[in-house]
Amino acid sequence: MIKTTSLFTPLGTAATALLFSTAALADSHDPADIQGKALKDSLAYEITEGLTTEVGPRQAGTEAEARARDWSVKKLKALGFQNVRNEPFMMPTWVRGTEAAEVTAPYPQKFHVTALGNSASTGENGIEAEVAYFDSLAAMQAAPDGSLAGKIAFVTHDMHRTQDGSSYGTYGPVRWIGPSIASQKGALAYVIKSIGTDYHRNPHTGNMNFREGVKSIPAGALSLPDADNLERMIKLGKPVTMKLLMTPQNIGQQESGNVIAEVPGRDPSKGMILVACHLDSWDLSTGAFDDAAGCGIVTAAAKHIMDHGKPLRTIRILWAGAEEVGLWGGKAYAKAHTGSKHAIAMESDFGADNIWRVEFNLPDAAEELEKKIAQALLPLGIGALGPPATGGADIRDIIASNNLAVIDLQQNGTRYFDLHHTPDDTLDKIDPEQLRQNVAAWSTVLSIIANSDVDFTMPPKE
């Protein structure tokens, strides 16, 4: 207890001022107050609109991504963040060319196709060959090596909508590793039913890689309706011939970069909170869901904390570059900052629809903090029963190298794979009300963890 007499000494006056300023600071970071204000947020939409309108598609390693970094640095500085900078790195760069597909016999008609990232070129004259059909990746894997010589391999699937996006993990390998397997079996080229859940004639692009020693071949994705049509043709029993024309190029090492900004904390010795998104998009669309909205969400949340006074811990914002084409930004960040003192990492990269669950991977010391976060998120309709948090793609390397604590705010992914990597990923798909709920959830969590002195050090990995 402070003695009454000390209040009338110079030292006591300073102590009183400190006491009242500390109380005011604590009140200014009240999670409920911040949550309420964040529910009226307009900044996340402003950022999403700016990236999609003033920059547009921003494929990694291209001039468009460079413009996006310039835009981002200016925007983050104008918002009042500190230590704003671009951290460049080099990366191999693949760019799209001409794309066309058609069945030439026995039922001639044109299809909608797009090349998968790292696809080889068919050459300017294209490739025409019989289609070898497989109803699953496993079925193609079972085919003998060399059995697809001179053919175009076609793999379909039955991906469906899920709230948590788990079907992507189930069916994604059709795209991720299918081309390499098809090449190993001798295929001239490879096409898939797009890894998505919409039934528009919009093919879904996405990255894939060939295993070391496996020849690169042309690989493309058909729109879902066209893939279903091709399957029906094949099941009529006659050989089906397809012509593919795709002329992408690998243009060598090009510059990408990570854009970083900070809200400095009161105690630099405390581990910082890393909040991430990715700045790049595929070239087919303006990348509103994937991932301009994520950058808007994490940045607006950090701004709400900054506007309520200096937090205890530094909040670092990472707008990662080159995520879509190989996670180069996350790898570069981990390499450059493994020695930095991080406490917790979080990422927003699953669209902009409502957050429905919070997941944790925190040390035992944070048990009460978890309960506080879960309680604070209840007014937003967010539950807390789920698996351990694992973090997003751009923070996995820094999580692994630093053994970091993680919190995931899981967004509703029911319609995410309708839009994912398609020309339809545009600003009109953003629901402003749901976007604000995201900002409110992120602001709530940040207000708690950025002002907590809990030791977030994770136990050593077994």
| Phi and psi at residue 342, to the nearest 5° | -100, 155
**Structural domains of the chain, with CATH:** 30-93+252-449 (3.40.630.10), 97-247 (3.50.30.30)
CA distances, 448 to each of 158, 185, 303, 370, 421 (Å) = 42, 54, 15, 10, 34
Q: Along the 462 residues of the chain, how does pLDDT read in single tens digits?
A: 332 333 223 334 333 333 333 334 444 789 999 999 999 999 999 999 999 999 999 999 999 999 999 999 999 999 999 999 999 999 999 999 999 999 999 999 999 999 999 999 999 999 999 999 999 999 999 999 999 999 999 999 999 999 999 999 999 999 999 999 999 999 999 999 999 999 999 999 999 999 999 999 999 999 999 999 999 999 999 999 999 999 999 999 999 999 999 999 999 899 999 999 999 999 999 999 999 999 999 999 999 999 999 999 999 999 999 999 999 999 999 999 988 999 999 999 999 999 999 999 999 999 999 999 999 999 999 999 899 999 999 999 999 999 999 999 999 999 999 999 999 999 999 999 999 999 999 999 999 999 999 999 999 987
| Cβ density class 294-318: b for 16+ within 10 Å, e for less | bbbbbbbbbbbbbebebbbbbbbbb
Q: Using alpha carbons, select from 40, 52, 41, 22 the residue that is nearest to residue 293.
A: 52
With contact defined as beta carbons under 8 Å apart, do 405 and 458 qualify? yes
pLDDT in tens, 165-192: 999 999 999 999 999 999 999 999 999 9
Using the 8-state DSSP alphabet, how is residue 285 labeled? S
127/102 Cα distance (integer angstroms): 11
How far, in Å, CA of 222 to CA of 342, rounded?
A: 43
* pLDDT given at position 258: 98
Q: To which H or E segment does residue 90 belong?
A: strand 82-95
Query: What is the rounded distance in angstroms from the CA atom of residue 153 to the CA atom of residue 13?
Result: 80
What CA–CA distances, in Å, run from 135 to 157, 167, 171, 185, 432? Answer: 6, 17, 12, 16, 39
Which class for 240: exposed (0-12), middle (13-18), buried (19 or more C-beta within 10 A)? buried
Euclidean distance between CA atoms 297 and 66, whole angstroms: 22
Rounded Cα–Cα distance for residues 340 and 395 (Å) = 14
pLDDT of the residue at 322: 98
Q: Do 346 and 275 contact (CB within 8 A), yes or no? A: yes
pLDDT tens for residues 77-116?
Answer: 999 999 999 999 999 999 999 999 999 999 999 999 999 9
Structure tokens at 236: 């009529």
Write down the pTM of the prediction: 0.93
87, 258 Cβ separation under 8 angstroms = yes
Could you tell me the two tokens for 189? 């080229």
Cα–Cα distances in Å, from 445 out to 277, 348, 393? 16, 13, 20
From CA 232, how far away is CA 236, in angstroms rounded? Answer: 7
Task: Supply 339's token pair.
Answer: 């020695």
Contacts of residue 360, Cβ cutoff 8 Å, sequence gap at least 6? 366, 370, 373, 384, 388, 389, 406, 407, 408
Whether 194 and 222 have beta carbons less than 8 Å apart is answered as yes
Mode of pairing for the β-strands spanning 272-278 and 315-320: parallel
DSSP 212-243: TTSPP--EEEE-HHHHHHHHHHHHTTS--EEE
What gap in Å lies between CA 50 and CA 48, rounded to an integer?
5
**In terms of Cα–Cα distance, which of 173, 193, 170 is closest to 181?**
173
Neighbour count for residue 81 (Cβ, 10 Å): 21
Provide the residue type at 139 as one letter.
A
